[in-house]
Amino acid sequence: MDEGFVTANGVRLHYVAKGAGERIVFIHGFPEFWQAWQHQLDDFGKDHCAIALDMRGYNLSDKPEGVDAYSVDVLLEDVRAFIQSFGPEPVVVVAHDWGGVCAWHFAAKYPELTRKLVIINSPHPATLYRELKTNEAQRDAMRYVLTFRKPTADALLCENDFARLAKLFESWEIGGHKLSPDTVAAYKAAWAQPGALDAMLNYYRATNIHPPGPNAPGVMGFEPDLSQWLVRVPTQVIWGEQDGALLPALLDGLQDYVPDLRIDRVPEGSHWVAHEFPERVNGLIREFLSDG
């Protein structure tokens, strides 16, 4: 694999790339980093130029100070500048969790740069806004966001050798792939980078699409223009239905905002479905890319 840095939107972003051909850009979420896409880099790097970056605040990328440096408007410009640094052609974007948040906004604003969009367990902003306003179960499932927004959250997540974050590994072996100690060590090394956890949590502090809490109204405090979130590029959503934080109702009505839409559900998959069933996820992506 090739490894390097790109200066994009004023920050230095680390990336890893493998292969040659059409570009596929993989965007990770919380609390991961480029290595979240190892299975995809190995597969798609055989016949594509597969690129996985560390988002700002993560691992080896820059970690600017201040919550405002992590707003969605800033993050999507990171993605735009990063993608365009490799050339002007539109690319396939594959994204998960917070990477998906950025990718939804990116595809809506820059359809000319997005050939196809693949989203893995990351809600469209319009359906997330709707569900947080109207669905008590979804509000309850995302109460953790209120904890993540607190100034003390990074210290909490550091406790006992990152024990709370390490829970994400618990389901990764269900598809038959053994969890390597080297993988666990690499994640903990990324979390231990100076300033990383606080920067990673700033993603949550900068958004207002969250359940209402004692110190912030969240979704109850604004009325967005939903037309700004229309995604008109061909889009695939892969959804592990055992996601405890993001409930399946987030998929209801999605076609109202994404007219060219394919949804692939993995009933036994969780939020970490790309780790649990990498061959199945890769196969679904390849089907989508070859269609049309």
Q: Which residues are catalytic?
A: 97, 204, 271
Q: Give 240's strand partners.
A: 266
285 token code pair:
């992506």
Chain-centroid distance of CA 35 in Å reads 13
Q: How far is the C-alpha of 45 from the C-alpha of 117, rounded, in Å? A: 18
